[in-house]
Amino acid sequence: QKEVEQNSGPLSVPEGAIASLNCTYSDRGSQSFFWYRQYSGKSPELIMFIYSNGDKEDGRFTAQLNKASQYVSLLIRDSQPSDSATYLCAVSGNQFYFGTGTSLTVIP
């Protein structure tokens, strides 16, 4: 069984702080790594994707991948109350495997 593990949280950060979300995966053959944001009762919304080891930045978001450690993370800089949501890590080989998500609350 291929697993994607995330801390369920809740993670609370003050507005303007950096939020750090982490994810580990079990399948060394995984090729692609994704972060989705899901507001309560809504569908997953793609935030970032990363394929290679290292960092990838897009605006306030940075994805980090370490394939040797089977670890992927998402940093959100200058966190805003609107960032409050559940963040889903997804890992892909032939299928997408989602983690259970980390609930983030940004406190004004």
Partner 1 sequence: EPEVTQTPSHQVTQMGQEVILRCVPISNHLYFYWYRQILGQKVEFLVSFYNNEISEKSEIFDDQFSVERPDGSNFTLKIRSTKLEDSAMYFCASGRTASNQPQHFGDGTRLSIL
> Residues interacting with partner 1, by CB under 8 A?
31-32, 34, 36, 42-46, 49, 88, 90, 92-101
Three-state DSSP class for residue 11: strand
For partner 1, the closer of residues 25 and 34 by Cβ is 34
Rounded to a whole number of angstroms, the minimum distance from the CB of residue 49 to partner 1 is: 5
Rounded to a whole number of angstroms, the minimum distance from the CB of residue 58 to partner 1 is: 12
For partner 1, the closer of residues 18 and 53 by Cβ is 53
For partner 1, the closer of residues 39 and 107 by Cβ is 39
Measure the CA angle with vertex 106, ends 102 and 108; round to 5°.
Answer: 170
* CA–CA separation, 3 and 24 (whole Å): 8
* CA–CA separation, 63 and 54 (whole Å): 8
